[in-house]
Chains A and B, each alone.
Chain A
């Protein structure tokens, strides 16, 4: 099926306009299937972080689109992304979420696979003809790309190099990783929840500062005065949203926390005073300040098309399940080998906002569900508007649009890429 026209008869040109998208974008199951094939079946998709598979023999389950995959680190230390499906009769070969192993064995007929996916052993070989070649039946491999510890995979072996795809997002990823405070960044656990909504509603939200003071009022009310000031970006005039190309964008909410190594000399906020005092036992003042700034996290959300975000101080990963269902992971990150007190504070900050019972995420989940409920049965007469900031944007050094903090520039960037990929 080609997407010049969807089964409903609407072409991509009609579904995505610069200032709006059509309601079937959230609603059409046939369109969803096309997205799985043309987007999640082809482009680079975030699957995990290297710290989740730290040693030779480490593995972790993940997904690329609808398919279950295994991220594994083989005996040489090389990382593989393998479709979690026996090449014989399709059973998953692993149902343990993460761990260490020397091989994967299918429970159905006992086919055994090495960590690099090669088929090593099958029971009762004499039932196969002599021309049966085990080399042809390794676990299906995806192309793997790693940037700054983030593991991406693609079904398309001829996909453009990962670094080209990330493009202008690369310097922002490097800035994001400064949250290690001089230590390598490591995942500290994750919150997972599903929401009855189309995946693009979440994709939009990571670049949506406009909703923050409305949806997250109860979170803001739970902060002290200084922290409230940090989150006052809708009333400040120095934040912005920049289209980075290829569907990626960055929303800078707190410009003073773009580069965490750039110590502005501001006093340590009251909420970090106890942590700073604790760190002073083992670190000099410059290092204490660096660690405290790292614990506070970055001042921007980097949205990476189609499924990942480096959001303030965590990874936000989305997984489309069906046209009406999306799974969200909020992965906490910290300092590998860093001070326990610093990692504890990072986890407490994460728990405060994120996850199924955080002070922020449940309200996000509620409004996303409301978008899906409001879109139900929607046809072509009412559109979803993404026009905020149009006509007010400037051009970045890259020649791409930059809008003010609440502009829907990032959404327009993602939809431009959506259209480009769907038309290929």
Chain B
């Protein structure tokens, strides 16, 4: 792997721009473009347990490798899932962005995210802490892992027909 410049070059503004671009794609449900943001080997995870990080050995709400992400997107776009055809509309904000660590080309970033969805004339809100492991590549920032810790992940949720 190419050696990338370390911490001094990691720029909060550039990372924020990337996360907002991702949020914009997800609210617009541009999932094909969203899939292109990934490096390929990491996971999209929504754990049940907010504390733990042994995701492989625990039950999660979602634990998607690249294959599962592709299948999930196909399901959401295919028109055969009644909950996703049409899906709830969503509006999200990403804020309180903190760069946790930089190790080589890997940047760990966390942020607060609020999502409000609307369907059947009713609105539901979700609050979550999100951690991204971003990788600096020649094509710019990519997502390696994305871990979404819902405030009530181990409580009573409602079904979700789009991506956080």
Query: Could you list which residues of chain A lie within 8 angstroms of chain B, going by C-beta atoms?
Result: 97, 188-195, 215, 217-219, 221-222, 327, 332, 340, 343-344, 347-348, 350-352, 355-357, 359, 361-363, 365-367, 369, 373
Contact = CB atoms under 8 A, between A and B. Distances in A.
B59 A362 contact: no
B75 A221 contact: yes
A189 B71 contact: no
Contact of B159 (A193, A343, A348): A193
A194 B68 CA distance: 25
Contact of B160 (A189, A357, A359): A357
B159 A357 contact: yes
Contacts of A350: 59
Contacts of A361: 159
A340 B54 CA distance: 12
A359 B75 contact: yes
B58 interface: yes
Nearest to A188: B59
Contact of A191 (B56, B59, B83): B59
A189 B154 CA distance: 9
A342 to B, nearest CB: 12
B46 A357 contact: yes
A190 B59 contact: yes
Interface residues of B, number: 31
Contacts of A362: 81, 83-84, 159-161
A354 to B, nearest CB: 9
Given A189-B59, A218-B75, A351-B60, A356 B157 contact: yes
B78 A221 contact: yes
A-B pairs with lowest CB-CB distance, top 8: A189-B59, A362-B159, A218-B81, A365-B159, A366-B83, A362-B83, A356-B157, A217-B80
A361 B62 CA distance: 13
Most B CB within 10 A of own CB, among A191, A195, A350, A355:
A355
A195 B78 contact: no
Interface in B59-76: 59-63, 68, 71-72, 74-75
Mostly, the A contact residues are helix
Nearest to B155: A192
Contacts of B48: 189-191
B81 to A, nearest CB: 4
A221 B80 contact: yes
A128 B74 CA distance: 68
A371 to B, nearest CB: 12
Nearest to B150: A356
A332 B49 CA distance: 14
Main secondary structure of the interface of B (DSSP, over half): loop
A350 B61 CA distance: 9
Contacts of A215: 82
A215 B57 CA distance: 30
Nearest to B75: A218
A326 to B, nearest CB: 10
A163 to B, nearest CB: 31
Given A192-B155, A366-B83, A356 B78 contact: no
Contacts of B159: 193, 195, 356-357, 361-362, 365-366
B79 to A, nearest CB: 9
Given A362-B160, A363-B82, A344 B61 contact: no
Contact of A222 (B49, B71, B156): B71
B8 interface: no
Contacts of A188: 58-59
A221 B76 CA distance: 12
A167 B83 CA distance: 38
A124 B136 CA distance: 65
Given A190-B59, A191-B61, A222-B74, A356 B80 contact: no
Contacts of B120: 369, 373
A194 B60 CA distance: 17
A193 B83 contact: no
Nearest to A356: B157
A363 B61 contact: no
B158 interface: yes
Contacts of B156: 192-194, 327
A209 to B, nearest CB: 17
A365 B59 contact: no
Contacts of A97: 154
A369 B72 CA distance: 22
A369 B160 CA distance: 14
Nearest to B154: A97
A189 B57 CA distance: 11
A193 B154 contact: no
Interface in B129-164: 154-161
Contact of B82 (A195, A340, A367): A367
Given A222-B75, A359-B71, A366-B83, 12 more contacts: A190-B59, A192-B156, A217-B80, A218-B75, A221-B74, A344-B57, A348-B63, A356-B157, A357-B160, A362-B159, A362-B161, A366-B159
